[in-house]
Amino acid sequence: MSATSTANAPAFVAKTKGGRITDFVDQRVGGSGILREFGRKVFPDHWSFMFGEVALYSFVILLLSGTFLTFFFDPSMAETHYDGSYTPLKNVEMSVAYSSSLDISFDVRGGLFMRQVHHWAALLFVASVSVHMLRVFFTGAFRKPRELNWVVGGVLLILSMAAGFTGYSLPDDLLSGNGLRIIDGVIKSIPVIGTYISFFLFGGEFPGTVIISRLYMLHILLVPALILLMIVIHLFMVVVHKHTQYPGPGRNDGNVVGYPLGPVYAAKAGGFFFIVFGVIALMAAFFTINPIWNYGPYDPSPVSAGTQPDWYIGWVDGALRLMPGVIGDFHFEYVIFGQVLTLNVLLPALVPAGLVFTILFMYPWIERWITKDDREHHVLDRPRNAPTRTAIGMAGFTFYCVMWAAASSDLIATHFHVALNDVTYWLRALFFIGPVIAFIVTKRVALALQRKDREIALHGRETGRIVRLPHGEFIEVHAPLDDYKRYKLVGFESPVPLPAVPNEHGVVTRKEKRRAALSRWFFEDRVAPASPAELEAAHGHHGQHEAVESAEGQKTLSH
Amino acid sequence: MGNHSDGSPNHSGTVATAGQNEVEKFQDPGIPPHRLRLADTDPKAAKRAERQVAILFGSSVVGTVIFLVAYFAIDLGPDSTIATIRLQNALLGIGTAFAMLGIGTGIVHWAKALMPDHEVSEERHAIRTEEDRQAAVRIVDDIVEETGIKRRPLIRNTLLGAVALAPLPALAVFGDLGPRPDDKLAHTMWAPQEGKLKRLTRDPDGTPIKASDVTIGSAFHVIPEGLNELHEGKLNEKAKAVVLLMRLNPESLKPSAGREDWSYNGIVAYSKICTHVGCPVALYEQQTHHLLCPCHQSTFDLTQECKVIFGPASRPLPQLPIAVDAEGYLVATSDFKEPVGPSYWERDEHERNINS
Amino acid sequence: MKALSQKRRHPLAAIALLLMGLLLTGGLYAVATTVNEAKASTTSFSANDTEEGGKLFAANCATCHGMGASGTKDGPSLVGVGAAAVDFQVGTGRMPMQMNGPQAYKKPAQFNDEQTHQLSAYVASLGPGPSIPEEGLLDAQGNAAEGGELFRVNCAMCHNAAAAGGALTRGKFAPALADVSEKHIYEAMVTGPQNMPVFNDANVSPEGKRDIITFLKQIEANGSPGGADLGALGPVSEGLFVWIAGLGVIIAFTIWLTSRTS
């Protein structure tokens, strides 16, 4: 059928040379169809939607600068004596990997710039992935139908940390070498197979002679390939789902409001790539990152004060620091049936990270189960309108930040002139009570903000103008909101707790009771959006001074 | 929260109960009316925006030129100093930043000021329609039917078995990633070789240390004699053998049973590798006699045989038994009596083997 | 008079006062340092120096260190610590201490060069100890690379690989080494002030100490080739920078990018 219709249609003949080439390609790949589908696709516009793009663009910049670096870097751990131009290391014994990293920094034109671009872009990459995930969490963008994309995002976060860590170790300097030493210690604490894994990873005893080239392969091939694969899946799903949007007038779960891809959105997104590149270039121009020449070559004997990993591994390092090895007389290193269980390493290395990632991956399903909400959500929640979720998020964030801060406990001590030990004691306490405080405070703040919204929706915005009424009363004039602004404040759902429901056999299961209890915990404290009837009543209730403002309101409405 | 469920919908700021969701809601007023920009109404403003965009693109060209000049004109030859590299790095960065930000901000400004900015609304479509689902189910049923896998369980089961086993070679092939650990972690270079005790030598130059060199309050970073002459596995050995040598007032040492002859005149040697995860515990405070690990802040008390007094480590640092040889040089009388460094699953077993 | 009292209430008065105070102390400090530089130190002590130093000691130090520097519960005995220890502690302002604490802080020197010299002479007379180093070892003309190796093995764990300082236990710390004079670096190594271990000449040879000083002075003079060094504190300051400045600038751009043009 389609064959006949093409045969009957008058053949299209392009007039220009460019047109002929485009037509040639189009007839073979069907670009017209793709353009028709996507050329005017609508994307909502909000600054907080851009972090995913920051991550994507940093990744592109990482690929570009990383490719340059591979042309000069040599991942060999063979011994050599440095003969480059940095005199404080002249003739020092070091590995070829470290020596070639120094050459990139001092003897390859633009090499230092590329190294700094690469490292700053890496820090920004993981940071933007993290902020993007925080945005998605706090606005509820992980809800149906986007649960799987949330999981892909979580995998990308882990992969980005893996990419960062494998890269951090490559220069084979003292700092990263001690980082590997810590990794080795953590691996050895794994019961039964830890020693074997360590020997397999390092090709024998630590440090061996192969770890850098193995990490190099992971860093430039395996991990980036996986990241690329995940990005493709991630973006494919974004196309399938279309983007979410913030609540507001004209926006609902059935539509998407924004700018068409071509030209506005494409121009902004394309231009933004150059902006991200420019910002990274500025950082690389003026701010040193990872000054490997300061640290010297890796050697198991020396160590530098302030030995920390890059920021994204910091929280795990911080957990290692917070864990006490001995409490009273109890030693966390523990001999059981003649074998050693190193709980003082194993617990902090696995438990907090395991907890954070398990909850992170499962959260969409946890909330779905509690709320029994199976509808698609394309309109986001403002964080204040989901107080319990926001509070959970802040509790998790605080938990992370306490460990994160612990990774710099020594610098906190020196820079604020407090005792190192006290910093650790405080952070140990905060590790447990910090998330609880954050939960309570955030929930109260969110509810208070909702009340403020409600107040504004019903009584208008405070103008700061004080008026004295004829009978002597002073009032502040409140300016009523227009319909659009008001809808932004009232157009949200406020679910109520769902009581336990009997199943098909008429039995309320224990699981269902638990769900109902969680649902109560989730939704019992709530501020309902203002309703038209309340607005009506509010106007009546305030009688006198409403007259003043409604007179003004009339004026604004009349033109 | 007492009044949260009083149900009065007119009381502002409080909360209504379940019925609330059915209470009438505000009508969605629709997308707000479009507001024209200056450039939409004033041709002068549009012209101005156009010029600004062109200037931004022009600044990108300037940036590219700066980059090229900095790359070719600045020589990193033998006379170059750190300041030269710093200058070149800064100029390359400024050049790139201008080149990129010029293009980026130019395009965005163009999009914001001159391209149409009408918000449009697009319908969302169902991600999966019921019709598609039924069609897919039919197709899958047909496929399953045509393979006949349900009717021929023999085929299914043997296939599952084969597929389950097939990845095993892919795992086994990594068996040569490293050697078996055996008891390599239990021994260090300090073990006397052919009856000859190893001298304690300075890190990094490898010169031997006399007991008289070690004055009270000093700390020596020590490697075993012969380490620097190793051609293979030097760092592996160093990673286990590094030692910190300190001298205290002999009265402040209270050696436990069996360790009385491990020190010499208040001179003691302890493994520098942290028993937590292996960083060098190199920070010696000569007045408090504390050893601090800079990585995770484990603190060991030298006067209590390096017992852990703070931080995540759980086990004391291993002590190296030392004595003085005929020429007055410090020597290790034996290897460590326990494996050094971070704990591992077989550690206790190894320690028992060493001491039996 | 009235005008003055009115001005005193001016909101900027406090700031002006603060500025004046800062200028005054800064100015005095500058004068004091130039005075110090003007007099070259000599290592020979005359009997007069020792006598004058004894008087200064009795008046300023004996409260804690005891008469005859034999030590009290507030301060250790100084018999045998040598002239180098006094020159370091007094010359860097650590002694006399402001108050008892985990560690003495560096502050403007309380005694001028001559008085420091006399105090050194007095303490040196009490018992043999490390003397003030010779000029030849302080010229920073040694081998920086070898000094760097020694520094990493013996010093970097406390002072940081780039000499930016680091934390010790219970409120103590190893200070940053930028702007410390060659002489004071040398003296610190030989005397082991406070909790720093002693690096006697058998441990790190005088030539090795010269190399370490060369290394420190060279990296200090070089600065960082990559631009501002962010305190040379490593990944923590880099992480803070990317979160605050890097993401901050990016967010500013995203807000501009998604805002409507007027």
Distance, in Å, from the CA atom of A384 to the CA atom of A394, rounded to the nearest integer, reads 12
Closest CA to A58 of A115, A122, A127, A131: A122
Instruction: Give which of A272, A304, A404 to mutate to test C binding, by max C Cβ within 10 Å.
Output: A304
User: Residue type at A464?
Assistant: G
- Quickly state the pLDDT bin for A131 (edges 50, 70, 90): very high
Instruction: State which H helix or E strand residue A224 sits in.
Output: helix A223-241
> pLDDT tens digits for C39-59?
334 457 787 888 888 888 888
When divided into structural domains, chain C yields a total of 2
Q: Which percentage of chain C shows pLDDT scores above 70?
A: 83
Domain contains C242: yes
pLDDT of residue A320: 94
| pLDDT beyond 70 at C29 | no
- Please, what's the b/e burial string for C151-178 (b: 16 or more CB within 10 A of its CB; e: otherwise)? bbbbbbbbbbbbbbbbbbbbbbbbbbbe
Does residue A306 sit at the B interface (CB-CB below 8 Å)? yes
Residue C180 maps to which CATH number? Answer: 1.10.760
Task: Name the 3-class secondary structure at C99.
Answer: coil
For residue A122, list chain C residues with Cβ-Cβ distance below 8 A.
none
Q: Measure CA A443 to chain center.
A: 21
| pLDDT beyond 50 at A515 | yes
Distance, in Å, from the CA atom of A188 to the CA atom of C17, rounded to the nearest integer, reads 61
Provide the ipTM: 0.90
| pLDDT beyond 80 at C35 | no
Does residue C153 sit in the same domain as residue C53? Answer: no
Does residue B152 sit at the C interface (CB-CB below 8 Å)? no
Average pLDDT over residues A226-250: 93
| pLDDT beyond 50 at B208 | yes
Q: What is the DSSP letter of B5?
A: G
For residue B35, list chain C residues with Cβ-Cβ distance below 8 A.
260
Q: Contact B283/C262, CB-based, under 8 Å?
A: no
Domain contains C10: no
Length of chain C counted residue by residue: 262
Does residue C106 sit in the same domain as residue C154? Answer: no
Distance, in Å, from the CA atom of B14 to the CA atom of B9, rounded to the nearest integer, reads 8
Q: Contact B89/C154, CB-based, under 8 Å?
A: no
pLDDT of residue A559: 35
Min Cα distance B233 → chain C (Å) is 20
| pLDDT beyond 70 at A27 | yes
Length of chain B counted residue by residue: 356
Q: How many helices (H) and strands (E) does chain B have?
A: 8, 12
Of the candidates C145, C161, C241, the beta carbon closest to that of A304 is on C161
Domain contains C39: no
For residue B227, list chain C residues with Cβ-Cβ distance below 8 A.
none
Q: Contact C258/A46, CB-based, under 8 Å?
A: yes
Q: Contact A196/B349, CB-based, under 8 Å?
A: no
For residue C246, list chain A residues with Cβ-Cβ distance below 8 A.
120, 123-124, 127, 279-280, 283
pLDDT of residue A541: 56
Min Cα distance A319 → chain B (Å) is 10
Question: Residue A493 burial by CB count (10 A; 0-12/13-18/19+): exposed, middle or buried?
Answer: middle
Domain contains C36: no
Average pLDDT over residues A452-474: 90
pLDDT of residue A494: 85
Q: Measure CA B52 to chain center.
A: 45
Q: Contact A420/C171, CB-based, under 8 Å?
A: yes
Q: Are B274 and B323 in contact, with CB atoms under 8 Å apart?
A: no
pLDDT of residue C126: 83
What is the DSSP secondary-structure string of A51-89?
A: HHHHHHHHHHHHHHHHHHHHTT------EEE--SS-GGG
| pLDDT beyond 70 at A98 | yes
Does residue C78 sit in the same domain as residue C181? Answer: no
Domain contains C27: no
User: Residue type at B296?
Assistant: H
| Nearest residue on chain B to C201, alpha-carbon basis | B213
- Which residues 66-85 of chain B have a CB within 8 Å of chain C? 81-83, 85
pLDDT of residue A411: 92
- Quickly state the pLDDT bin for A234 (edges 50, 70, 90): very high
- Quickly state the pLDDT bin for C17 (edges 50, 70, 90): low
pLDDT of residue B23: 57
Question: Residue A66 burial by CB count (10 A; 0-12/13-18/19+): exposed, middle or buried?
Answer: buried
Q: Contact B218/C199, CB-based, under 8 Å?
A: yes
> pLDDT tens digits for B239-280?
999 999 999 988 888 888 888 889 998 999 999 999 999 999
| pLDDT beyond 70 at C132 | yes
Does residue C157 sit at the B interface (CB-CB below 8 Å)? yes
pLDDT of residue C140: 85
| pLDDT beyond 50 at A554 | no
Closest CA to A305 of B272, B238, C186, C155: C155
Domain contains C4: no
Average pLDDT over residues C175-198: 90
Does residue C112 sit in the same domain as residue C150? Answer: no
Instruction: Give which of C98, C250, C253, C257 to mutate to test A binding, by max A Cβ within 10 Å.
Output: C250
Q: Contact A342/B314, CB-based, under 8 Å?
A: yes
- Quickly state the pLDDT bin for A312 (edges 50, 70, 90): very high
**Long-range Cβ contacts of A335-341 (<8 Å, 24+ apart):** A335/B348, A338/B348, A338/B349, A338/B352, A339/A191, A339/A192, A339/B345, A339/B346, A339/B348, A339/B349, A340/B343, A340/B344, A340/B345, A340/B346, A340/B347, A340/B348, A341/A191
Instruction: Give which of C149, C155, C203 to mutate to test B binding, by max B Cβ within 10 Å.
Output: C203
Q: Cβ atoms within 10 A of the Cβ of C213, count? A: 28
| pLDDT beyond 50 at B9 | no
Q: Are A231 and A160 in contact, with CB atoms under 8 Å apart?
A: no
Please list the residues that pair with B193 across neighbouring strands: B196
Distance, in Å, from the CA atom of A133 to the CA atom of A48, rounded to the nearest integer, reads 11
Of the candidates C153, C174, C246, the beta carbon closest to that of A302 is on C153
Average pLDDT of chain A, as a whole number: 90
Closest CA to A326 of B302, B307, C170: B307
- Which residues 489-548 of chain A have a CB within 8 Å of chain B? 490-491, 493-496, 524-534, 537-538, 541
Q: Which percentage of chain A shows pLDDT scores above 90?
A: 70
Instruction: Give which of B229, B277, B283, B284 to mutate to test A binding, by max A Cβ within 10 Å.
Output: B277
Establish whether the linkage from the previous residue to A364 is cis, with ω within 30° of 0: no
Distance, in Å, from the CA atom of B234 to the CA atom of A89, rounded to the nearest integer, reads 20
Q: Measure CA A305 to chain center.
A: 30
Lowest mean pLDDT among A410-414, C104-108, C171-175: C104-108
Does residue B276 sit at the A interface (CB-CB below 8 Å)? yes
Average pLDDT over residues B195-223: 91
Of C131, C156, C184, the last residue of a domain is C131
Does residue C138 sit in the same domain as residue C243? Answer: yes
Average pLDDT over residues B129-151: 93
Q: Cβ atoms within 10 A of the Cβ of A519, count? A: 20
Does residue B48 sit at the C interface (CB-CB below 8 Å)? no
* Residue B311, token pair as written in the block: 């931080």
Of the candidates A123, A275, A293, the beta carbon closest to that of C242 is on A123
For residue B24, list chain A residues with Cβ-Cβ distance below 8 A.
531-533
Which residue stretches of A287-419 are H helix?
292-295, 311-322, 343-371, 387-406, 409-416
Of the candidates A272, A284, A420, the beta carbon closest to that of C167 is on A420
| Nearest residue on chain B to A300, alpha-carbon basis | B239
- Quickly state the pLDDT bin for B39 (edges 50, 70, 90): confident
pLDDT of residue A550: 44
pLDDT of residue C15: 64
Does residue C111 sit in the same domain as residue C156? Answer: no
List the Cα angle A476/A479/A481 in 5-degree steps: 150
Does residue C112 sit in the same domain as residue C140? Answer: no
Lowest mean pLDDT among A200-204, B197-201, B350-354, C91-95: C91-95
pLDDT of residue A226: 97
Residue A146: partners with Cβ closer than 8 Å, 6 or more residues away:
A237, A241, A244, A364
Show the domain range for C77: 45-131
Does residue B46 sit at the A interface (CB-CB below 8 Å)? no
Pick the residue with more confidence: A478 or B1?
A478
* Residue A438, token pair as written in the block: 């954050």
| Nearest residue on chain A to B2, alpha-carbon basis | A525
pLDDT of residue A2: 45
Average pLDDT of chain B, as a whole number: 88
Does residue B203 sit at the C interface (CB-CB below 8 Å)? yes
Of C131, C149, C164, the last residue of a domain is C131
User: Residue type at C86?
Assistant: V
Does residue C72 sit in the same domain as residue C94? Answer: yes
> pLDDT tens digits for C69-89?
888 888 888 888 888 888 888
- In B100-189, at which residue ranges do the beta strands (DSSP E only) sit? 120-123
pLDDT of residue A422: 93
Q: Cβ atoms within 10 A of the Cβ of A290, count? A: 27
Of C131, C146, C177, the last residue of a domain is C131
> pLDDT tens digits for B79-98?
788 999 999 999 999 999 99
Residue C57 maps to which CATH number? Answer: 1.10.760.10
> pLDDT tens digits for A271-280?
999 999 999 9
Which residue stretches of A407-509 are H helix?
409-416, 420-459, 483-490
Does residue A184 sit at the B interface (CB-CB below 8 Å)? yes
| pLDDT beyond 90 at A63 | yes
Lowest mean pLDDT among A355-369, A526-540, B174-188: A526-540
Domain contains C208: yes
**In this complex, how many residue pairs, one in chain B and one in chain C, have their CB atoms less than 8 Å apart?**
96
Lowest mean pLDDT among A214-228, A243-257, C16-30, C40-54: C16-30
Q: Contact A301/B221, CB-based, under 8 Å?
A: yes
Does residue C120 sit in the same domain as residue C138? Answer: no
pLDDT of residue C13: 61
| Nearest residue on chain C to A90, alpha-carbon basis | C145
Does residue C189 sit in the same domain as residue C156? Answer: yes
Min Cα distance C147 → chain A (Å) is 8
Does residue C113 sit in the same domain as residue C191? Answer: no
Of the candidates B246, B282, B286, the beta carbon closest to that of C195 is on B286
What is the DSSP secondary-structure string of B51-88?
A: HHHHHHHHHHHHHHHHHHHHHHHS--STT--HHHHHHH
| pLDDT beyond 80 at C191 | yes
Helix pair A266-286, C247-258: axis angle to 10 deg: 160
Instruction: Give which of A83, A273, A287, A417 to mutate to test C binding, by max C Cβ within 10 Å.
Output: A287
Name all chains with 3 or more CB-CB pairs below 8 Å to chain B: A, C
Domain contains C9: no
Does residue C243 sit in the same domain as residue C160? Answer: yes
- Quickly state the pLDDT bin for C24 (edges 50, 70, 90): low
Average pLDDT over residues A220-224: 96
pTM: predicted TM-score of the whole model, two decimal places: 0.90
Distance, in Å, from the CA atom of B257 to the CA atom of B259, rounded to the nearest integer, reads 6
